[in-house]
Chain A
Amino acid sequence: MDRAMEPRDRAGVSPLSSFDGGQTAEVLDRSSADGHQSLPTAPPVTGDEAGGSPGTAWLTPWVLMLPALLLFFLLFVLPQARLLGYSFEPDPQSAATGLTLENYGRLFGDMHYLGILGRTLWMGLLVTVITLVLGYPMAYWLARLETRWKTVLLVLTIFPLLTSAVVRSFGWMVLLYRTGVVNQSLQRLGIVDAPLPLMYTLSGVVIALAEVLMPFMVLTLYGVIRGIDRNLEEAAMDLGAGPLSTIYRVTLPLSAGGVLAGSLLVFSLAISSFVTPSLVGGPRVQLMATAIQEQTVSLLNWQFAATLSAVLLAVVLVLALAYSRLVERSGDRSAVVPV
């Protein structure tokens, strides 16, 4: 997340590029090549020029990456593979052995579980749209702000992240109850006659999650918008575009990468979040994460829990791939703009 926050010096650059392993390897390559020189007085040279011993040079970055790769393999690849393996094992209550697809059949053949999946995706979409609509103006304002309070405001944006989601969710519970602050205010203002059912409903979960995940959206957008050259906006205005037209035709397209990155980040965090849906939604709002928790902890059916997890993971993966495609295309488009 913190990398996504880094300001980008060029508009439209895919924020994912900072996650790019290749880039990291390149940097490692360069520094290791410097090391091979073992001449402290030598001027800095790039890896391509340095050469070193050509036979083993390719090995160096791999050796340097080995600890990280090993950790990654042990703590991520292996458990994920095991998780996937579980999802093909039969139900613990049945006597069957061997591999089976019955868990997937149970999930996809049952409206109850398809409903849970659909509700989860719908919830994620709502949260994403709300954070985007509310977060974009805020991020834009923060990025264009030129005062010494800017740092303070940025810290305030991050501030909610320093509080545990459990605490914030409990806070939302107090606010959202039938006799809570939100309902009382709405009733006093005459907006509603009877208290709205917010606690233990999907609406409550969406409201609370939108607040919980807002900083991720704002900070991602902030970095991208700040990287947009202000001269471009001014040029557009000089050429007769109004403020709204400028934002719509210049700023928005240039920050498309940030919008997509922030949306993907918020969406995947939303559909996989557990604490807030569990506390605010209660037993009635059944979502993927709460269903996985129930299968794992209450019913000890790790096989079906793994199936639910695998499906959720697949959904996120598909979205991430579609997203990077979109970003590439938007990158092409913004490349037309001479920067």
Chain B
Amino acid sequence: MGSVAYGLGEARRARRGFLPAILGAGASGLLAACGQAGGAAPTAPPTKATDAPKPAAGSSPAAGPSPAVVASPASAAPAASPSPSPLAAAPAAAAKAPAVSLKGRAMTSSAFGGDTQAVQKRLVFDPFDQATGASTTLVTLLSADALARARAEKGNPQLDLVQFSGGQEKIAAQEGITQALDQAQIPNLGSIVESFRNPAGQWATTAAIAEGILYRTDKVSPAPTSWKDFWRPDVQNHVAFPDITNGYGMNFLVMAARVNGGGEQNIDPGFTALAEIAPKATIFKAAAEVAQLFSQGDIWMMPYDSSHAFRVRSQGIPVQFASPTEGVPAIFITASVLSGSKNVDVAHAAINYMLESRVQAEIAKDLRWAPVVQGAPLEPDVAADVPSTPEAVRRLLALDTDAINAGRPQWTERWNREIARA
């Protein structure tokens, strides 16, 4: 997968150097054309739309299941305006009214593959397409791959919308790979819980995933309550943890540092601590291995997310999720719009759709991703699995992704030498 992304980049760069004038002119011409077609409209009715989220945020707890009510004031205004603007699409999508404005339009988004992608397709992209008439293509790209590809295609991306789960949205925004969101086109941005919001509006957080401890209820007793439980003698030989190239593995390293007197700025204690348990632990790379490792019976405990606890449990393996007292690193799923995208309006509408409280609740139910908007109507068993109460949300730790990204090259090298040794 990686090599494909790399190859594309190579070809693109080579081509850019080879035929700069022709391609440059072609691309900018296309961009200009699209800008005229879709770009003009959004400037027209922003004032009304920005008003809309206010009642939405306030009234949503009561009006949970029917976001249509919330969205209607916003959709009424642009619908009345003479030109069917892309702005109308988002609220219309929520109202399940067939919106004409995105008919025949296409959009390409990244998704994370596997179950996650299937659920996102079923609960977000398919209904979005149905409601707006747009057609969305999903490309499977894990965060790191997505960043590599977006970087390779910078300025002329094949993707319009990109989803990250490892903090890559910051790098992408810094490098100008993604563009600032037009808040007016995403009224639902306003209903995102304050602490999950990106103040600069570079990206939208669409879900939060808590990383805690997954453990076999029949093997590990007493139940783990702290990150330090990974060093308990009775679980040695039965511990697994993800590689540093997996976001959860990186966070585990940081938490190991944190509970041993270090942190993002002082990672040494983390390495020392992990080197202690690493020789007897299983290190794995892919999320797909989580269920397999548990089902083999050999692994009793690993750091991962509640989403996987739920998934492994539904396969009949007694696995429970524990939130360590020292804090629960939260992984934020974000959506960004790529610079140079030709379908900026469709991508914005899709992000807005993701943030509908009804959609958020459905995602929470099927993926155990925590909703990021206020008042998503959660069923009790779902609410028990995801951090949904204000206290639970407060226990979520937002790790310093800037420091992590800065340390990544050195830490990865050191990890390969000291932790992932054969």
* A residues lining the B interface (CB < 8 Å): 74-75, 78-79, 82-83, 93, 112, 170, 173-174, 177-180, 200-202, 274, 278-279, 282-286, 292-294, 296-302, 305
Contacts and interface: CB of A to CB of B under 8 A. Distances in A.
7 contacts: A173-B292, A177-B292, A179-B298, A200-B282, A284-B283, A293-B3, A305-B6
B412 A200 contact: no
A284 B419 CA distance: 8
Contacts of A179: 296-298
Interface stretch (B9-17, B178-186, B190-198, B211-219): B9-17
Interface stretch (B33-41, B144-152, B260-268): B144-152
Nearest to B151: A300
B78 to A, nearest CB: 40
B245 A298 contact: yes
Nearest to B13: A82
A302 B14 contact: no
A78 B245 contact: no
Given A294-B412, A297-B145, A283 B298 contact: no
B10 A283 contact: no
Which 10 residue pairs are nearest across A and B when measured between Cβ atoms? A283-B243, A297-B2, A283-B420, A79-B10, A293-B2, A298-B245, A78-B14, A283-B283, A177-B296, A179-B296
Contact of B284 (A282, A298, A300): A282
Given A93-B409, A283-B245, A297 B5 contact: yes
Nearest to B288: A170
Contacts of A82: 10, 13-14
A299 B144 CA distance: 9
B148 A300 contact: yes
B284 A283 contact: yes
Given A284-B421, A293-B3, A296-B2, A200 B298 contact: no
Nearest to B149: A297
Contacts of B288: 170
A300 to B, nearest CB: 6
B200 interface: no
Nearest to B297: A179
Interface in B398-422: 408-409, 412, 416-417, 420-422
B283 A299 contact: no
B159 to A, nearest CB: 16
Interface of B: 1-3, 5-7, 9-11, 13-14, 18, 144-145, 147-148, 151, 243-245, 282-286, 288-289, 292, 296-298, 408-409, 412, 416-417, 420-422
Contact of B245 (A170, A177, A202, A294): A294
Contacts of A173: 289, 292
A202 B422 CA distance: 8
Nearest to A297: B2
Contact of A75 (B11, B243, B420): B11
A258 B164 CA distance: 48
Contact of B14 (A79, A170, A278, A297): A79
A301 B282 CA distance: 27
Contacts of A170: 288
Given A279-B286, A283-B245, A283-B284, A178 B409 contact: no
A70 to B, nearest CB: 12
Contacts of A296: 2-3, 5-6, 148
A11 B260 CA distance: 68
B10 A83 contact: yes
Contact of A78 (B18, B284, B285, B409): B18
Interface centre among A93, A284, A298 (most CB of B within 10 A): A298
